[in-house]
Amino acid sequence: MPPRWRATATRLLVLLACACAVFVPRCHCVGDQGEALLRWKASLLNGTGGGGGGLDSWRASDASPCRWLGVSCDARGDVVAVTIKTVDLGGALPAASVLPLARSLKTLVLSGTNLTGAIPKELGDLAELSTLDLTKNQLTGAIPAELCRLRKLQSLALNSNSLRGAIPDAIGNLTGLTSLTLYDNELSGAIPASIGNLKKLQVLRAGGNQALKGPLPPEIGGCTDLTMLGLAETGISGSLPATIGNLKKIQTIAIYTAMLTGSIPESIGNCTELTSLYLYQNTLSGGIPPQLGQLKKLQTVLLWQNQLVGTIPPEIGNCKELVLIDLSLNELTGPIPRSFGGLPNLQQLQLSTNKLTGVIPPELSNCTSLTDIEVDNNQLTGAIGVDFPRLRNLTLFYAWQNRLTGGIPASLAQCEGLQSLDLSYNNLTGAIPRELFALQNLTKLLLLSNDLAGFIPPEIGNCTNLYRLRLNGNRLSGTIPAEIGNLKNLNFLDLGGNRLTGPLPAAMSGCDNLEFMDLHSNALTGTLPGDLPRSLQFVDVSDNRLTGVLGAGIGSLPELTKLNLGKNRISGGIPPELGSCEKLQLLDLGDNALSGGIPPELGKLPFLEISLNLSCNRLSGEIPSQFAGLDKLGCLDVSYNQLSGSLEPLARLENLVTLNISYNAFSGELPDTAFFQKLPINDIAGNHLLVVGSGGDEATRRAAISSLKLAMTVLAVVSALLLLSATYVLARSRRSDSSGAIHGAGEAWEVTLYQKLDFSVDEVVRSLTSANVIGTGSSGVVYRVGLPSGDSVAVKKMWSSDEAGAFRNEIAALGSIRHRNIVRLLGWGANRSTKLLFYTYLPNGSLSGFLHRGGVKGAAEWAPRYDIALGVAHAVAYLHHDCLPAILHGDIKAMNVLLGPRNEPYLADFGLARVLSGAVDSGSAKVDSSKPRIAGSYGYIAPEYASMQRISEKSDVYSFGVVVLEILTGRHPLDPTLPGGTHLVQWVRDHLQAKRAVAELLDPRLRGKPEAQVQEMLQVFSVAVLCIAAPRRRPAGDEGRGGAAEGDPAAGRGRRHRRRRGEGAECRRRRRRASGGRATVAGEEHAAEGRLF
């Protein structure tokens, strides 16, 4: 061919190639599998445009999909794996578009990609599939039975979605399956017996499915390769099958917080590879099988909170690898096995709250790895014979509430890492070893209610990390050492009920963080120091021998809420500077030698609501007119003084429950109110010029007074006995006096009001219309009802007459408590068909509306959010630690935090509250079984009681932590926009585990604030994280939901519904003493663990 022709031919070939490139459709380059993937990408919310994120590399112009992110191919170019993790795709799973992938796809992993909708049954056509991972999405619907056609499937992971329905019976067809993870869904029904066909199954995890019920099928014994069995926080019931002994390779059994009954089968001794046994929080009975001693690899045994009986098998001492054993909260008897001394790796021994007897075995001295010994709440006797110098790693030793005798071993001082020591409520004698105070790491020393004597050694000043010191109820003598002022971290000081003498050391002003100081019932002398720590919130120095005048310095305690100086010899006047203590709720200056007038400033204390006791002094003058402003005050006692004038300033104190004005010189007429008319005779006696009722001449009045004196003489003995009763009892009896039958709406009503309200039940019932609905709660609907006075009240109408339990709960919880951050119950009314509760009306709605409703004033600011969080924290701490008995709310959530006119928070809706009576020592309670629903609200329920319906103070703290996270992030706990459809708590945990900046979690409206505010937000965030931690690590004192802790030998530790500190029951007890014709309330502990800020 001539050269000229060859050049022309070449140009023609190039043009032809270009034409092909232009006219051949682009998608044909990636093949049918690439086209299928592109069609799926186009269906995703974030699959196209600039929002494609990780799928931006999926382009139709590519020659093959094999280089796309997350796509892998074999040598022929067929797609064998699609693996995409933590990319916000949005949208549904591929359905018909997966068919071209069926010939080759072996791995499909779409984890944390925000997928929604159902799992398409077409996935069952991917015949070559060996791995299917759709975890951490928002998938709904049932698990398609078609997936059970995937005969080559080895790993099926569907956990952390919202899947419903039953586990398909055909699951047994997947005979090649080695891993099945279904935890943290909403699956129901029973575990199918066909599970036993999965001979190769190594991992089975289905925890966190609360509706998964029925027994563990005996066929589980056919899964002979199983290494991990996780069914925690489900409704699995019945006995553990004996066939569990066939699982010779099992390493972890985690079926905690479930409904197991019966005994632990002896065959468990055949599980020789077992390292972790988690069966806590069930209803297991019978004894602990001795066969556990055959498990040589066992490291963790958590059997706490069951109904186990009998003795602890000494054979457990053969488990030489044992690191943690927790048998607490059972009914175990007999001694602690001496064989435990042969466990060289044992770190935590927790046997609290059983009925163990005998001595603390000295052989424990051989367990040199021990960090934690908890044997409290048993019946142990004898001396503490442990050789502590050998336990160099010991950080915590709790042996309170036993019958131990002898002295406190000085050798404890050689446990240099010791942080917490509680030997309270025993019969220990001797002196407190001064060597203890050389422990630089000691933070809690609790020795209450023993028979200790001697002095408080001055070496106490060396214990600079001491946070909590409680020596109440011993026979300690001598003075309070001045060195106590060196304890800069001291927060809680309780030396009451001893024989201490001398003055309060001025050096105590150095305790910069002291909040609680209880020195009652000693023989302290001198004057009250004028420069007490400004951080003090509770001060009780009653029943001592203090003299001198009360200085003006007492007004420099801005955080003070309770001050009790009663039963001393203090003289002079009441300092008006007390009016500067604006947070005062209780003030007791009774039974002193105070003189002069009552300062008007006391009438201006805005939160004085519990009690004001000025009785048994030498006060004179009139009651200040400012007392009319004490509209929250519940108890007032000014008896046995020389007061005069009118009682008119007290006439409008609508919240008064008790009032004693006896033996003064009041004159004029007794106020004509229902409350004053019903005052007992002994509470107004001794006021000769006081006119009880109107009308009549002077002779008649004098005759009435003479009759009154005679009646007082006759009733003196009876009155003295009655005054020994708690103020609460008196309050309830007087309230009942005001109850009566009022007819309204055609039926007889029983009504009790706790303050004066001007309305009729007929008016209230007529106002209960849909137009007046302002909210709904767990037990009723709430209406706004206008009163004739122009004010409004909130009226809750219970859902039905069957809600008697919730109705009683709210009255029991709120009828006798007052707190500035708890909604006030004004009264109640009931007839056969209707039950009503009357509350203070709060105009600004709920915290939920504040955070999530657009345009709310102040929602974009940090200060009001902080104040709300702080107020709720105070309310929770008050319920748990200041109430007798303690109250568990049970349903803390943003909707139940109501906001007042200045957005001040009020905790509301106590329909699920529980009063701890019999359970006070353990700090937990079982929810009333008469109510089938779960106690709490989804999103806020603590993981450890969502399925078992056991609540504890730690449950409330968890819910509080979720509320604080909601305040910080601006997101609802079940916010559907959270990545992967996860819960707010898990989203936060995932963020922290990824070591990303905490500031990224904050509500965008809070970003850009001053650095000081941001730092405060981060500090509050750290508190919230503590609150959502495992129960034992929560304040007042999980990692992951249902199954999250199943595979971690340490993760389940201490998920315990009880106090993990020695003050257990005692911190709930308020001491009530009666003397001199009056009752005083003292020793209310606002426990430091309960303070979350």
Using the 3D structure, point to which of 817, 841, 865 is the last residue of a domain. 841
Residues 579 and 725 grouped into a single domain: yes
Residue showing tokens 């299917």: 132
- Answer yes or no: is 221 within a domain: no
Using the 3D structure, point to which of 674, 704, 732 is the last residue of a domain. 732
CB neighbourhood size of 992 (10 A): 13
Assess whether pLDDT exceeds 90 at residue 454. yes
Side chain identity at residue 527, one-letter code = T
Assess whether pLDDT exceeds 50 at residue 725. no
Assess whether pLDDT exceeds 80 at residue 78. yes
| pLDDT score recorded for residue 95 | 83
Of 289-303, 328-342, 912-926, the poorest mean pLDDT is in 912-926
Residues 681 and 812 grouped into a single domain: no
Assess whether pLDDT exceeds 80 at residue 715. no
Query: What six digits make up the tokens of 954?
Result: 């730690």
Residues 762 and 886 grouped into a single domain: no
| pLDDT score recorded for residue 1058 | 34
In this prediction, residues 419-434 reach a mean pLDDT of 96
Eight-state DSSP code of residue 880: I
Which of 123, 55, 158, 54 lies closest to 981 in space, CA to CA? 158
- Answer yes or no: is 528 within a domain: no
Assess whether pLDDT exceeds 70 at residue 1038. no
Residues 835 and 884 grouped into a single domain: no
Residues 905 and 1018 grouped into a single domain: yes
Cα dist. 958→883, 939, 1036, 1087, 1091 in Å?
20, 11, 11, 17, 14
Q: Measured between alpha carbons, how far is 928 from 940 in angstroms, rounded to an integer? A: 19
- Which candidate in 422, 637, 891, 1003 is catalytic? 891
- Answer yes or no: is 103 within a domain: no
975 — pLDDT class (breaks 50, 70, 90): confident
Concerning whether 867 is annotated as a catalytic residue, the answer is no
Assess whether pLDDT exceeds 70 at residue 945. no
663-672 long-range contacts, CB within 8 A, separation 24+ = 663/639, 663/687, 664/638, 664/639, 664/640, 665/689, 666/690, 667/691, 669/693, 669/694, 671/647
Of 163-177, 383-397, 879-893, the poorest mean pLDDT is in 879-893
Which of 328, 366, 342 lies closest to 293 in space, CA to CA? 342
| pLDDT score recorded for residue 885 | 67
CB neighbourhood size of 122 (10 A): 17
Phi, psi at residue 964, to the nearest 5°?
Answer: -65, -40
Comparing 883 with 316, the larger pLDDT belongs to 316
Residues 796 and 899 grouped into a single domain: no
Q: Measured between alpha carbons, how far is 79 from 64 in angstroms, rounded to an integer? A: 10
| CATH number of 916's domain | 1.10.510.10
Q: In sequence order, what DSSP letters do the residues of 531-595 get, joined into one string?
A: ---TT--EEE--SS---SB--GGGGG-TT--EEE--SS--EEPPPGGGGG-TT--EEE--SSEEE
Angle, CA 21 vertex, CA 17 and CA 23 arms, to 5°? 115
Q: Measured between alpha carbons, how far is 562 from 559 in angstroms, rounded to an integer? A: 9
| Cβ proximity of 509 and 484 under 8 Å | no
Comparing 696 with 649, the larger pLDDT belongs to 649
Phi, psi at residue 29, to the nearest 5°?
Answer: -70, -30
Of 54-68, 275-289, 577-591, the poorest mean pLDDT is in 54-68
| pLDDT score recorded for residue 772 | 77
| pLDDT score recorded for residue 816 | 62
| Cβ proximity of 329 and 351 under 8 Å | no
pLDDT tens digits, residue range 343-372? 999 999 999 999 999 999 999 999 999 999
Burial class (CB within 10 angstroms; exposed 0-12, middle 13-18, buried 19+) of 943: buried
399 — pLDDT class (breaks 50, 70, 90): very high
| pLDDT score recorded for residue 778 | 55
Which of 794, 797, 788, 806 lies closest to 839 in space, CA to CA? 794
Residues 818 and 836 grouped into a single domain: yes
Residues 609 and 685 grouped into a single domain: yes
pLDDT tens digits, residue range 801-840? 445 566 666 676 666 667 888 888 888 888 877 888 888 8
Residues 855 and 951 grouped into a single domain: yes
| CATH number of 836's domain | 3.30.200.20
247 — pLDDT class (breaks 50, 70, 90): very high
Q: Please check if 444 is assigned to a binding site.
A: no
543 — pLDDT class (breaks 50, 70, 90): very high
Q: In sequence order, what DSSP letters do the residues of 408-424 get, joined into one string?
A: PPGGGGG-TT--EEE--
Segments forming the whole domain that contains residue 640: 562-732
Using the 3D structure, point to which of 821, 841, 861 is the last residue of a domain. 841
pLDDT tens digits, residue range 994-1005? 778 888 888 888
Of 47-56, 712-721, 823-832, the poorest mean pLDDT is in 712-721
pTM here?
0.67
Comparing 728 with 53, the larger pLDDT belongs to 53
- Answer yes or no: is 140 within a domain: no
Which of 951, 961, 949, 957 lies closest to 988 in space, CA to CA? 961
CB neighbourhood size of 291 (10 A): 18
| pLDDT score recorded for residue 1070 | 25
In this prediction, residues 738-753 reach a mean pLDDT of 53
In this prediction, residues 457-470 reach a mean pLDDT of 95
User: In the structure, how many helices (H) and strands (E) does the chain have?
Assistant: 12, 64
Q: Measured between alpha carbons, how far is 520 from 516 in angstroms, rounded to an integer? A: 12
Angle, CA 881 vertex, CA 880 and CA 884 arms, to 5°? 90
Describe the chain by its helix, strand, coil percentages, rounded to 5. 30, 20, 50
| Cβ proximity of 114 and 88 under 8 Å | yes
- Answer yes or no: is 874 within a domain: yes
Burial class (CB within 10 angstroms; exposed 0-12, middle 13-18, buried 19+) of 810: buried
Residues 579 and 698 grouped into a single domain: yes
- Answer yes or no: is 999 within a domain: yes
pLDDT tens digits, residue range 881-903? 777 667 888 889 888 898 988 88
Residues 958 and 889 grouped into a single domain: yes
Number of domains in the chain: 3
Residues 821 and 935 grouped into a single domain: no
Side chain identity at residue 809, one-letter code = N
Phi, psi at residue 126, to the nearest 5°?
Answer: -80, 75
| CATH number of 608's domain | 3.80.10.10
- Answer yes or no: is 314 within a domain: no
Assess whether pLDDT exceeds 80 at residue 1080. no
- Answer yes or no: is 519 within a domain: no
